[in-house]
Amino acid sequence: HSAGSGKSNSIAWTAYRLASLHNDDNEPVFTSVVIVTDRRNLDAQLQETITGFDHTIGSVCAIDEKKSSKDLKDALNAGKRIIVTTLQKFPVIYEEVDDTTDKRFAIIVDEAHSSQTGSSAMKLKAALADVSDALKEYAELEGKAEDELLDDNDRLVREMIAHGRHKNLSFFAFNDGSYHPFHVYSMRQAIEEGFILDVLQNYTTYRTCYQIAKNTKDNPDVPQSKALKTIKKYEELHPYNIQQKSAIIVETFRNVTKQKIKGKGKMMVVTSSRLAAVRYYHEIKNYLELNGDQKDVEWTESKLNGVNESQTKQVFHDEGNILIVAEKYQTGFDEPLLHTMIVDKKLRGVKAVQTLSRLNRTHPDKQDT
């Protein structure tokens, strides 16, 4: 699934379809459907999408940062129809889940390339696996009686349960291509069909931008905007100075971003750390105070924003212009009005795709990024 092409919807549809499946005796095929994400803060967009569906098949239980591992344990033991949780909550409860004999779980994994590795994933299997079924399977493999294996239950059985396949666990994953998916909706196809925008169409490095700025005198077709003049000055002064970078950010917003999406264009600044994000915040604020237009203040965390952390997304949509981030909003953040991204950190692999894809959401008035 390409970022921005509706993965949250696909996960939600899959969860509701699995939760409503019944066998010939009209019994639910799965006791519970468990949606697992490896992000420590449960993906708000995913949670909203799932809870926003029609609840005709029963309750949806979201185990977010406000809830504990005990809440997850209670939800599993109570047989809640759909449970949304983070992978990190499983290690705390894997020894406390009640008897799972005759219980069947459908596990939908977001970001399968990272979620199914490490001890957390092993303990997820241990928490949900049908012990009696697994013991029988292992006894046959070892050529021993089941009661012989129970003597060493603490270590051997737990390790055995955490590995291999289990009849009562069905995994459905959205992965990175390490396995062979039965269906692929590629970024190329999504762009061609108009579901997302091509974010690389107007991508440029600051060095390329500087070359354009430097050559504007020789090229009358390139306008001498304040943004280009600022970029030229920045390169000549100090390429690592956050104060100079902040000037470029503000002038790019004024000259480019603010003119887009019928004046509703927004910008994201991707920084390398929380410290860098705070420094950018103050430098941009100082630049705005010295150059007027204070209403262009960006929104970051609650202490700087003056709003609760859970409100940041909505406040940025309603009032914000520039969002300065450090890791947190590089994935799972859906804002169609986001037009411009300034990246001041190294991005590689999946993280590069996920980060740049924040820009690819379509809007009726959005022509490019």
Long-range contacts of 241-245 (CB under 8 A, 24+ apart): 242/276, 242/279, 242/280, 242/283, 243/283, 243/286, 243/287, 245/280, 245/283, 245/342, 245/344
Tell me how long the chain is.
369
CB 281 within 8 A of CB 303: no
What rounded mean pLDDT belongs to the chain? 75
- Sorted by sequence, the CB contacts under 8 Å of residue 291 that are 6+ apart come out as 250
Report the distance separating Cα 179 and Cα 361, nearest Å. Answer: 27
192, containing H or E segment? helix 187-192
pLDDT band at 177; cut points 50, 70, 90: low
Report the distance separating Cα 254 and Cα 251, nearest Å. Answer: 5
pLDDT band at 103; cut points 50, 70, 90: confident
**Angle, nearest 10°, between helix axes 226-237 and 242-255?**
170
Cα–Cα–Cα angle for 95, 100, 101, rounded to 5 degrees: 135
Residues 249-261: b if buried by 16+ CB within 10 A, e if exposed: bbbbbbebbbebb
Residue 240 identity (one-letter amino acid): Y
pLDDT digits (tens, 9 = 90+) for 9-40: 888 888 888 988 999 999 999 988 988 876 65
User: Which of 169-178, 296-305, 358-367 is predicted with the least confidence, judged by mean pLDDT?
Assistant: 296-305
pLDDT band at 366; cut points 50, 70, 90: very high
Report the distance separating Cα 5 and Cα 2, nearest Å. Answer: 6
pLDDT band at 63; cut points 50, 70, 90: confident
For the ranges 196-205, 282-291, 304-313, the maximum mean pLDDT occurs at 196-205
**Which of the pair, 175 or 266, is modelled with greater confidence?**
266
E strand residue ranges, 168-288: 169-173, 266-270
Token pair belonging to 76 = 């599993």
Report the distance separating Cα 341 and Cα 318, nearest Å. Answer: 19
Instruction: For residue 360, give the 3-state DSSP assignment.
Output: coil
Report the distance separating Cα 101 and Cα 130, nearest Å. Answer: 5
pLDDT digits (tens, 9 = 90+) for 288-323: 888 765 454 444 466 566 667 777 888 888 888 999
The pLDDT assigned to 351 comes to 83
The pLDDT assigned to 299 comes to 46
CB 340 within 8 A of CB 320: no
- Sorted by sequence, the CB contacts under 8 Å of residue 165 that are 6+ apart come out as none
Report the distance separating Cα 161 and Cα 134, nearest Å. Answer: 6
The secondary structure of residue 28, as a DSSP letter, is B
The secondary structure of residue 258, as a DSSP letter, is G
Token pair belonging to 14 = 């899959």
Report the distance separating Cα 83 and Cα 263, nearest Å. Answer: 40
Nearest to 349 by CA among 330, 325, 328, 365: 330
Mean pLDDT of 136-150: 55
Nearest to 206 by CA among 252, 141, 158, 243: 252
Neighbours of 79 (CB within 10 A): 14
Residue 136's Cβ-count burial label (10 Å; 0-12, 13-18, 19+) is middle
pLDDT band at 239; cut points 50, 70, 90: very low
- pLDDT tops 80 at residue 156: no
Q: Is the pTM of this model over 0.75?
A: no
Report the distance separating Cα 360 and Cα 368, nearest Å. Answer: 9
Mean pLDDT of 192-205: 90
Written as one string, the DSSP assignment of 317-356 is HHT-SEEEESSGGGSS---TTEEEEEE-S---HHHHHHHH
The pLDDT assigned to 162 comes to 55
Written as one string, the DSSP assignment of 269-333 is EE-SSHHHHHHHHHHHHHHHHHSS-GGG--B-SHHHHSS-GGGHHHHHHHT-SEEEESSGGGSS-
Mean pLDDT of 192-204: 90
- pLDDT tops 50 at residue 158: yes
- pLDDT tops 90 at residue 86: no
**Which of the pair, 166 or 102, is modelled with greater confidence?**
102
Give the percent of the chain with pLDDT over 70.
63
pLDDT band at 206; cut points 50, 70, 90: confident
Residue found by looking up tokens 């012990």 in the block: 131
For the ranges 209-218, 310-319, 333-342, the maximum mean pLDDT occurs at 333-342
For the ranges 48-57, 73-82, 90-99, 355-364, the maximum mean pLDDT occurs at 355-364
